[in-house]
Amino acid sequence: MQPQIVLLKEGTDTSQGKPQLISNINACQSIVDAVRTTLGPRGMDKLIVDSNGKATVSNDGATIMKLLDIVHPAAKTLVDIAKSQDAEVGDGTTSVVLLAGEILKQLKGYVEEGVHSRILIKAIRKSLQLCMEKINEMAVHVEKQSKDDQQRALLEKCAATAMSSKLIHQQKDFFAKMVVDAVLSLDDLLPLNMIGIKKVSGGSLEDSQLIAGVAFKKTFSYAGFEMAPKSYNNCKIALLNIELELKAERDNAEIRVDNVKEYQKVVDAEWQILYNKLDKIHQSGANVVLSKLPIGDVATQYFADRNMFCAGRVPEEDLKRTLKACGGAVMTTANDINASVLGQCEYFEERQIGSERFNVFQGCPNARTCTLILRGGAEQFLEETERSLHDAIMIVRRTIKHDSVVAGE
């Protein structure tokens, strides 16, 4: 048998055993040093500029780790640790990276002395077991009573703790109440996607507000929009995935006609198709028409004349949240629209928030949902505020689901 020849790229590191373990630990240490200074109330923010020139200011461990361009495969495991912590718990992403790095640092001396890695792993597992026992011993159990003032105070403390090291720590009391209100307004399973977060530049942080219902920015609108009513009580909502404007001719379409009358019939037929769709939507009894696809100027004017509100190009995320909260179904054809597929809400309004117009649906019967509208200065500042609130929301959800907490130093 011929011996196998393995070709490796130039510059490939083929070291094995002890030198490779030391190399892995050193790589992890350099990552830990990059995020070490962001930890705690006195932690500093990092300004990271990616290859496209987009600047991000953050002290959220997971965000920084994702933005770092890490090539070393062992160091990438630290990124995965931060990501899984962010997805599961929400906060503490920097802490888990630092703990992992510190454990590796303590083990480095033993590796250099030649202690086998199996023995080291056994020792770490034993220490984990002792830590878990100590944590369970220190934990304080909280009785689960949703309207209990004591539980609410605890949740607010947890939310404030999650924000104490963030950019918005000075307003943590204001946001802690808002976050707890948002999470307690959800259904029992506390679905995270039912809390919408929208950012509006301008104003101060205290101008931020919590809306009990679905709210999203007014989409692009055509002439005739201003004539449509801007509020309804007991509103019926048609959710569509239909383009309500005249379709442009396809490039390869060819129509041969003998005279002008024949051509006029073709044009009239196109208009008639659109008017038939609009008429069927009007007949269904809907007051508000939302579509993922564009709603053209003819349709906008048609709806305005019949005291109906319409919005096209609604983002899919917002349409789905409206669907879950208000009921109904997203229709892909105008033929089957009737009262049974319409969503409902107690009150609809288009209102001005800062420099933006927002469509607001309140009193949704199907699922409980809420929207946080954040105000503030620079775009990076608003993005960091959103990340901080996400961490606080995740912590409050976790506290509600698990009935015990451990005080921190």
* Residues contacting 38, CB < 8 A, separation 6+: 44, 45, 46, 59, 61, 64, 94
Catalytic residue among 93, 161, 369, 399: 93
What's the rounded Cα separation, in Å, for the pair 336 and 35?
Answer: 56
CA–CA separation, 239 and 330 (whole Å): 5
Catalytic residue among 56, 60, 86, 300: 60
Judge contact between 169 and 163, C-beta under 8 A. Answer: yes
Active site residue 94: yes
Q: Which residue do the tokens 């924000």 mark?
A: 163
Residue 391 appears among annotated catalytic residues: yes
Going through 163-279 in order, the beta strands assigned E by DSSP cover 195-201, 209-211, 213-217, 231-240
Q: In what order do the strands lie in the sheet with 370-376?
A: 195-201, 370-376, 209-211
Alpha-helical regions (H) of 114-259: 117-138, 149-163, 172-184
Considering 63, 86, 391, 399, which one is annotated as catalytic? Answer: 391
Q: Examine the residue annotation and report whether 77 is marked as an active-site residue of this protein.
A: no
Identify the active-site residue in 94, 219, 322, 399: 94
User: CB-based contacts of 155: which residues, under 8 Å, 6+ apart?
Assistant: 180, 183, 184, 396, 399, 400
**251 annotated active-site:** no
Residues assigned a catalytic role = 60, 93-94, 391
